[in-house]
Structure 1
Amino acid sequence: MIDYPQIRPEIIAIGPIRVRWYGLMYVLGFLTTYYLAPRLPKAKAIGLTSERMQDLIVYLAVGLVVGARLGFLIFYQYDNWSFYLNHPIEIIATWHGGMSFHGGFIGSVLAGWIYCRRTGLPFWGVGDCVAVTAPIGLGLGRLGNFINGELYGRPSTVPWAMIFPDGGPVPRHPSQIYEALGEGALLFAILWWMSRRPRENGTLVMAFLFFYGAIRFVLEFFREPDENLGFLWGHWTMGQVLCTAMMVVAAFLYLQRRMRRTLSVDVRK
């Protein structure tokens, strides 16, 4: 067993002003996207400049935060809505924790679509550029979860298991580290490699949907289910249900594109 490193969640705490590691990870993730995305070959081809990326980041940040919070309430608190209706301020109380990746993803997609509609940039091309760099932010976010001691893993006897402050006296998988490596480093390596060759707009978005869903689905077997939900249908977690939906959407988009391409060839004949 490895001792859990006791890292203060706050970097700076001066009176009511608190800068937390988790929030810093969000900022670093967006800065990475701002720096790397415009330098991708596809970004140059579609006209996604650093100036336009700066405006897009604002849209994505708002969409991410709003979507992540609403996603948490819809996907993970659906049995507790009466509490939020009686305490509406808690709906926006992100400082109490409670953010959903899947909700944040949906919010970011909608915000990106609005931005592309306003600027005339190709939605799927812009999505490809953002998708390549997004895993860096995801990996950093999981490190923030680890520092906060939240979203810890299931009980385990592996040599690197840890006792988390809020996880009871039982050693557990450091599943946040697994996710940082899988959803972050591994997913980034796959998408970065794919981005090196010219590909049809939307290909990297579909790859992100499928590979994130597959990686997260597997890693959910090491992560403790949400306390208020537990397991669904005997052995699935809510995360696995949502990741399955992501993979289904990716497969649907891929098959739809192949059918459209086949029909186009037939028409030409």
Structure 2
Amino acid sequence: MVKANMTDDETIIVSSTRSNRKTDTLLRRERDTHMHLAMVIDPVAFSLGPLQVHWYGIIMGTAALIGLWLAIREGRRHGLDSELFLDMMIWVIPSAIVGARLYYVLFEWEYYSLHPADIIAVWKGGLAIHGGLIGALIAGYFFVKKKAVRYLHLADIVAPSIILGQAIGRWGNFINQEAHGSPVSLAFLQSLHLPDWIIQQMNIQGVYYHPTFLYESIWDFVGFLLLFLLQRWNPRRGEVFFSYLIWYSMGRFFIEGLRTDSLTFNGPDWLAHLLNVLWSPMTVKFTPGMMMDGNIRIAQLVSVTLMVVGVLLIVVRRMRGNTEQYLSKTEISDASVSRAE
């Protein structure tokens, strides 16, 4: 009725106003959505009274349970009872956590000597994987002695579980916004085609960082698939575990060079130069992360050492005529009978 009395110019103005209102509404919705995506993930998943349950702990627990399930499943092919792996978990998991924490605290003693109460605050992060590996290997040694199981036999079985657990565990670092790399641009992160919630979680106090947690998680997951296939190929005993050491350490060495929170120490210049030369192929596309103190990244040094040890053990054992297979003919026969039943 009103519109019928309007001039053409007035009709255009009303139409334009309605269009602008619609556009404003869409922009507000887009802005609200962006604000929602930009919210940093709360490291506390939920609270039970005064007790706070952190995502970090949930993720680590999930990684341990999935790893246990895989180990039990693979152990059945070797005729090993599930109770063996349940008992092993009781020994290894606490030892790995203690080893990971002590390793980290040792190299950050300047801080923890002033804040001793934080030493046990593992839910805040600060678990060094290499320390956890050392703790687990030591506990595993005493465990197999008690159970009369061969060390490398068990290590081969659980190797895929270990690296898959590491792949999952890195997402705990993501939630805590730690173990990240050097600063990068938003455009760089978008070029990786990452979902917005990952990109925004890598925005720490207004600065975007390399999602090194994601690089390592992907690398470890690929390693899990390779080790799983290697088990089916039935190599010589010990080679699945040694391959784990080589694969994980290779990825960790190069990814560690991007990080800015590496544990470091002051070592000989020739060693620092050697590690820099080994990492130099990465400089074609990446800039190394700054080291706050020291000239050697401990994780890089340990990674190179483990790679060399893994390769040497495979070569030396083969040269000495080690022909024992990962899965013996008797175990293969027993597994076939079990599947038939």
Q: Same fold (TM over 0.5)?
A: yes
Opposite residue 96 of structure 2, the aligned amino acid is L
Structure 2: how far apart are the matches of 1:87 and 1:111? 28
Q: Which aligned pairs between 1:20-169 and structure 2 lie closer than 5 A?
A: 20-40=54-74, 43-44=75-76, 46-74=78-106, 76-77=107-108, 80=110, 83-84=112-113, 88-157=116-185, 158-160=188-190, 162=199, 167-169=204-206
* Partner of residue 221, structure 1: 257
Residue 209 of structure 1, CA deviation = 0.4
Q: Taking CA–CA contacts closer than 8 Å with sequence separation of 6 or more, which of the two structures ends up with the larger relative contact order?
A: 1
Residue 124 of structure 1, CA deviation = 0.5
- Shift of the 4–50 alpha-carbon distance from structure 1 to 2, 3 Å rule, reads farther
- Shift of the 261–105 alpha-carbon distance from structure 1 to 2, 3 Å rule, reads same
Structure 2: how far apart are the matches of 1:8 and 1:256? 49
Residue 91 of structure 1, CA deviation = 3.5
- Shift of the 109–89 alpha-carbon distance from structure 1 to 2, 3 Å rule, reads same
Residue 87 of structure 1, CA deviation = 5.5
Structure 2: how far apart are the matches of 1:96 and 1:88? 14
* Partner of residue 265, structure 1: none
Opposite residue 122 of structure 1, the aligned amino acid is R
Identity of aligned residues (%): 30
Is residue 125–residue 176 contact of structure 2 (8 Å, CA) maintained in 1?
A: no
- Shift of the 250–232 alpha-carbon distance from structure 1 to 2, 3 Å rule, reads farther
Q: Describe the superposition over 1:10-57 as per-residue Cα deviations: whole angstroms up to 9, x where unpaired.
A: 1111332121111111211121122111222xx245443211111111
- Shift of the 47–232 alpha-carbon distance from structure 1 to 2, 3 Å rule, reads farther
Secondary structure in structure 2 of the residue aligned to 1:171: strand
Residue 139 of structure 1, CA deviation = 1.3
Larger Rg: 2
TM-score between both structures, scaled by the size of structure 2 = 0.67
Residue 64 of structure 1, CA deviation = 0.8
- Shift of the 7–87 alpha-carbon distance from structure 1 to 2, 3 Å rule, reads closer
TM-score between both structures, scaled by the size of structure 1 = 0.83
Structure 2: how far apart are the matches of 1:169 and 1:176? 19
- Shift of the 216–54 alpha-carbon distance from structure 1 to 2, 3 Å rule, reads same
Residue 221 of structure 1, CA deviation = 3.1
Opposite residue 97 of structure 1, the aligned amino acid is G
Secondary structure in structure 2 of the residue aligned to 1:19: strand
Opposite residue 22 of structure 1, the aligned amino acid is Y
- Shift of the 254–165 alpha-carbon distance from structure 1 to 2, 3 Å rule, reads closer
Is residue 231–residue 238 contact of structure 1 (8 Å, CA) maintained in 2?
A: no
Is residue 98–residue 132 contact of structure 2 (8 Å, CA) maintained in 1?
A: yes
Which of residues 197, 216, 228 in structure 1 aligns to 2:233? Answer: 197
Q: Describe the superposition over 1:88-146 as per-residue Cα deviations: whole angstroms up to 9, x where unpaired.
A: 54443324431100000010111111111100111101111111111221111111111
Contiguous gaps of at least 5 residues in structure 2: 1-36, 193-198, 266-290, 323-341
Opposite residue 30 of structure 1, the aligned amino acid is A
Report how many aligned residue pairs link the two structures: 252
Is residue 46–residue 121 contact of structure 1 (8 Å, CA) maintained in 2?
A: no
Q: Give the superposed CA RMSD.
A: 2.6
Which of residues 232, 245, 265 in structure 2 aligns to 1:209? Answer: 245
